Amino acid sequence: MTTHSGATPTPVGKGAATTSLKLGDLMVREGLLTMDGLQKALTIQKQASEYTPLGRVCVDLKLISKQELQRFLSKYQKHIQIGELLVNMGLITDAQVHKILEQQRVSSKRFGALLIQGGFISESQLTNALSLQLDIPRIVPSLELMDLSLMEGLDEENLRYNEFLPISRSGNQLTVLMSDPLNATLLQQLVDRFKCKVVPAIATPSEILSTIAEFYGPRRKPPAETALDNDLMLKAEEDKTKEEVSSMARYLVRSAVEEGASGLHVECQENYVRVRLRKDGVMQHKTDLPARVGPSLIDMLKTAFRLKGGKYWEETITTNVANRKVDLSISSFNGLWGENLVVHILYAPSRMLLFDNLGFSALNLARLMHSLERSGGILITGSPIRSGKSTLMYSSLLHLNQLHRSVLSLENFVHHTMPGVIQNHYKSDGPESFAGLVEHMAEYDSDILMVEEVYNPAVADAINRAALMGKKVVTSLHAADTTSLIYSLMQSGKDCLLTTPVPVTLVTQRLARKLCEKCRVPYSPSEAELLAMKVLAGDRGAYQFYAPKGCPDCRNQGYNGITGLHETLEINDEVRNAVMQKRTATALRDISRREAGMLSMVEDGVFKASAGITSLEEVRRVTLIHDIDSKTAHSIKQIHTFCSGLATIK
């Protein structure tokens, strides 16, 4: 890796960016910035919620151009202090930097190597920091992402010693993966060897060495043609570029499924293609790719999914990937640097459809079961996009699906087939409207109806009429929480579902990551932290909270798996009257808590955080905190009592 520049230890931290010979001072000395510009950039950098390199802040503020920054970084790479960067990112402390600098006086090892040896950071964290600071692509070394012809004539011992791999070549430009992209000697050797411009990318030493071993070890057979290739036509023609891109596409889709991701994002940036996975609701970096492959990769995926010009999404395709049955769909969005794609991944139904696996507290589960068990009524589930509202509906349908009942569903796409349920795949080009089919379902000799979503007022009216006829209806709407769901129904002309005389229950959900039980660490929240979440904090010392850390079991994320955070509300006369009076969203929420005993999603999250299931940080990340909730705030003990079903909220 790289060394920490500077002969003597210098203070690092929030105030370090202004000390002698730091990057900001160097930019001023070079005439790129004025002192006023530097101070403005430092202020913005300090205010940001996440660390952003100073150079990138200056580009965003249009104080310098991207090209000027790249020339500057190329000239002053040796002055970049990785220790300062890691402190600013919150990965190490000032004291640890000084300790490593002292060790360097008597050791030939590099600064980064000593940090890793001391257990202060991981290889991956150091590599990510360098990629961020130097604006160098972070590429996962995989034989399926490489042009293997570039390995011809290279010495295995040299590859291992210098920890590098040539990845791809386009015209006069070669992309080379290096563990130390600041190794000027190696860069010059590569220029001499390949007679072209060398563009460095970065990976960890262990990743590079593992790939070298794989290349020179017993050669694996090429992956056999799979259902994925046939279903999505991910097969290359007799063209080297297309063959390379086809291999990339197969690798990316397969690895996304193997890692349990719900989405594969291919995003065109200015100088490279960024590939990220959405796992447990959070975007995680997978790899970067050379910019030249972006258009070809995206075109291949679009063709594979039959995505035609002028459309931004396509229906789901069912296939087998990595020995798993999955439904894949695709969506597209144009950006400044080109088209971007998301491959959405839905896995075959599993035991997750059981309520016991969705993370319901005793209180919220009891309210949901009460809604399902009584005769008739309407259950409306809500969540943001891809946060589980459909899973809630299917779980409810699974519970209701019994031999003595007639169960019908109307869906835009049947995500999960359910034996015993008559499921209808709605086709927009058919003779009947969605609302018309809901009315037809109500007239059928049925007991239970599932309507995928309340798309418009006509659908809402049809659902209401079906419920008034005695049918039980399960439906959904996208919403951040229960208050958002009520407000959305009111503002879009669907409030008949709130004012109807039949029983109505709202259940909303957000997905939160579960702490990794192998590495979570005890954490004591401050009173201010809990009060900001509208929770009384006087008894916080009686409960053990935890924070994420990161270990190999959780891929250094600190989290492993997901759970649901919920709000449930049974519409009563007080809430119904407030809707009819067109009260504000804030007033409706206050009435829901005071008169209908609704426990907030934040409180449900605090309950799970105090039980070691998730963290307060994660609860804040996924929930909306409403100021009005402070008027009906509960202590942690009260929250435990309510969520455990041991007392009624009033």
CATH number of the domain that residue 160 is part of: 3.30.300.160
- Asked if residue 9 is part of any domain, the answer here is no
Of the CA atoms within 13 Å of residue 503, those in its CB half-sphere come to 18
Q: Do 364 and 303 fall into the same domain?
A: no
pTM of the predicted structure, to 2 decimals: 0.78
Same domain, 401 and 509: yes
**Same-domain check for residues 201 and 62:** no
Write down which residue in 74, 100, 134 finishes a domain: 134
Q: How many helices (H) and strands (E) are present in the chain, helices listed first?
A: 26, 18
Q: Are residues 424 and 476 in the same domain?
A: yes
**At 269, which CATH number?**
3.30.450.90
Q: How far apart are CA 11 and CA 419, in angstroms?
A: 66
Do 93 and 159 lie in one domain? The reply is: no
Beta strands in 89-229 (DSSP E): 164-170, 173-178, 197-202
Q: How many residues does the chain have?
A: 650
Cα separation, 590 vs 596, whole angstroms: 10
Residues near 200 by Cβ (< 8 Å), separated by ≥ 6?
Answer: 136, 176, 177, 178, 181, 187
1, part of any domain: no
- Which residues 6+ apart lie within 8 Å of 3 measured at CB? 82, 104, 110, 111, 112
Coil/strand/helix, residue 37:
helix
614 shares a domain with 488: yes
Residue 383 pairs in a beta bridge with 478
Residue where a domain stops, chosen among 110, 134, 158: 134
Is 518 within the bounds of a domain?
A: yes
Q: Going from the first residue of the chain to its last (650 residues), give the mean pLDDT of each consecutive group of 10, the final group possibly shorter.
A: 35 35 77 89 84 83 82 68 73 85 82 84 85 84 89 92 91 90 86 90 93 84 58 58 80 92 93 92 91 88 69 68 86 90 84 78 95 95 90 91 93 84 84 91 93 95 96 96 96 96 97 95 94 93 93 88 95 97 96 96 97 96 96 95 82
State whether residue 282 is helix, strand or coil: strand
Same domain (yes/no): 364, 308: no
Per-residue b/e over 571-582, b at no fewer than 16 CB within 10 Å? beeebbebbeee
Residue 305 forms part of a structural domain: yes
Which CA distances in Å does 497 have to 461, 486, 489, 500, 576?
8, 10, 8, 6, 10
Nearest to 489 by CA among 381, 599, 393: 381
188 and 259 inside one domain: no
Q: How far does Cα 557 stand from its chain's mean position? A: 12
Distance CA 226, CA 78 (A): 48
Residue 372 in tokens: 């399902």
Residue 650's pLDDT is 60
Alpha-carbon torsion (408, 414, 415, 420), positive or negative: positive
Taking alpha carbons only, the member of 189, 551, 569 closest to residue 367 is 569
Residue 8 included in any domain: no
Instruction: Report, in angstroms and rounded to the nearest whole number, the Rg of the chain calculated over CA atoms.
Output: 28
Rounded CA separation 11/83 (Å):
10
Asked whether residue 211 falls in the same domain as residue 76, the answer is no
Q: Is residue 6 part of a domain?
A: no
Residues 497, 504: contact at Cβ < 8 Å?
yes
Single out the residue in 157, 191, 216 at which a domain terminates: 216
Distances (CA, A) of 550 to 94, 115, 128, 546, 557: 21, 16, 15, 13, 5
pLDDT at 437: 93
581 lies in some domain? yes
Q: Would you say residue 81 lies in a domain?
A: yes
Q: In whole angstroms, give the CA distance from residue 170 to residue 199.
A: 11
Distance (Å) of CA 81 to CA 12, 95, 121, 482 = 10, 15, 16, 48
Same domain, 364 and 332: no
Q: Report how far residue 12's alpha carbon sits from residue 86's, in angstroms, rounded to the nearest whole number.
A: 10
Return the CATH number at 372.
3.40.50.300
Residues 153 and 198 in one domain: yes
Rounded Cα gap, residues 368 and 362, in angstroms:
10
Domain that holds residue 318: 227-347
Shared domain for 338 and 257, answered yes or no, is: yes
> Which residues, including other chains, have CB under 8 Å from residue 102's CB and lie 6 or more apart?
9
Count up the domains in the chain and report the number. 4
